[in-house]
Amino acid sequence: MGRLFGTDGIRGRANADLTPELAMAVAMAAARTLAESDRSHPPLAVVGRDPRASGEMLEAAVVAGLTSAGANVVRVGVLPTPGVAFLTAEAKADLGVMLSASHNPMPDNGIKLFAAGGHKLPDEVEMTIEAAVERGAGGARPVAGGIGRVHDLLDGTDHYVQHLVGTVPHRLDGLKVVVDCANGAASEVAPAAYEEAGAEVIAIHAEPDGLNINDGCGSTHLEPLKAAVREHGAHLGIAHDGDADRCLTVTADGAEVDGDEIMAILALAMRDAGALTADTLVATVMSNLGLRLAMAEAGVRLVETKVGDRYVLEELRASGLALGGEQSGHVVMPAYATTGDGILTGLHLMARMAATGRSLADLASVVTKLPQVLINVPVGDRQAGASAPEVLAATAEVEAQLGATGRVLLRPSGTEPLVRVMVEAATVDTAREVAERIAAVVREASPAKS
């Protein structure tokens, strides 16, 4: 059995890779792993999903697995991933389960697990669950009154919206926003939260039918949002993905504002409010060098982690920091959420606009992004392709050439026989020339298998 968990839970084609049988086995293993054995009452699990048609099938399997392991289940229905994490913490549940493949197309689905408190699982816990799934059910199952019960939480959405709006430091009156809900889990929550906080809201792609999630819309397809912002004369546009844990934005004239720029805006807002712990921002190595340069000029320290919001979360928790995220739009504010929350991000971004009277374009101009070129190099051996002596020598030579005006990042793919060569430089021509030069060395060091 290969690695079950990826960087963001378990994901695959629903009913092919991710079957009801697998979902049930994972749920049983998670219940047994995460529930405290010394409790005098049955473990409690919160289960939510995005609107994919396959979510109904997988929800049934997960609920069956949890209850067969003796866990009581609270179903919250269609809700964003951070909403499930929030309710897991609020209910003092032993675990939370979210069924979603985030920004992936409709045929895919996934399982995201949360421990008590609504926190993502560390690697060692995932490995324990994987091992239990591989071993099979095993052991005695509860019978009679020991079987878990199922309850539906009918006001989970309202409770989550109230939580979100309660975090906003300033009303959003006077702001007009177009929100692209990706026909996903944000479709009800995002417009409700933005309106209650005071904004005038135009919602698009907010009519999920189980089949249209992420279909030409949301954070992976920004063109419809840009057009709608111009059409309605809005101050900004906000795009969420299928489970609303990320947020990307566009300015009034349709320019894209990504996670790096959003983090910079929020970091300066929090610094000015005295809420940016140790004046430090956490980002991944994929964030643009322009973010680091902008933060250095503003007196904000930038800590880098491996790619994946889970590693940002780990650093935030370990160091007690207040803000982190990814270029892709996952932004984490631990004072209000245990995971990336796209709607929370959108609210606080608009609050900064409302408080300063500045446009999104003006606020985002604090970051001057360097041109970035990424080449995926097919290789025979990922590690050799990224760490061969001649590759390291070529990389060092280029880094010396670029100095403070650029950088090089080599990353072996976690799932494919590829080495990703990313270069940032003062001009796109320089970045492309340098990236192609290093890619050629990588190919020679570890030729792809025919």
Environment class of 134 (CB within 10 Å of its CB; exposed 0-12, middle 13-18, buried 19+): exposed
> Is the Cα torsion angle 348, 350, 354, 359 positive or negative in sign?
positive
**CA–CA distance, 231 with 350 (Å, rounded to integer):** 20
Per the rule left: phi > 0, alpha: psi between -120 and 50, beta: everything else, 329 is left
Whether 66 contacts 45, CB under 8 Å:
yes
Is 413 annotated as a binding-site member? no
Q: Can you tell me whether residue 219 is helix, strand or coil?
A: helix
Is 102 annotated as a binding-site member? yes
Residue tagged 């995971």 (tokens): 339
Is 272 annotated as a binding-site member? no
Per the rule left: phi > 0, alpha: psi between -120 and 50, beta: everything else, 403 is left
Which residues, including other chains, have CB under 8 Å from residue 308's CB and lie 6 or more apart? 7, 8, 284, 326
Which residues, including other chains, have CB under 8 Å from residue 169's CB and lie 6 or more apart? 273, 348, 351, 355
Dihedral Cα 413, 415, 416, 420, nearest 10 deg: -10
Q: Which of 37, 68, 100, 102 is catalytic?
A: 102
Token pair in block for residue 441: 């060395």
| β-sheet with 200-204: strand ranges across | 200-204, 176-180, 236-240, 247-251, 256-257
Is 241 annotated as a binding-site member? yes
**CA–CA distance, 253 with 235 (Å, rounded to integer):** 9
Specify whether 100 is catalytic: no
Where is the binding site for Mg(2+), in residues?
Answer: 102, 241, 243, 245
Where is the binding site, in residues?
Answer: 102, 241, 243, 245
Question: Which residues are known to be catalytic?
Answer: 102
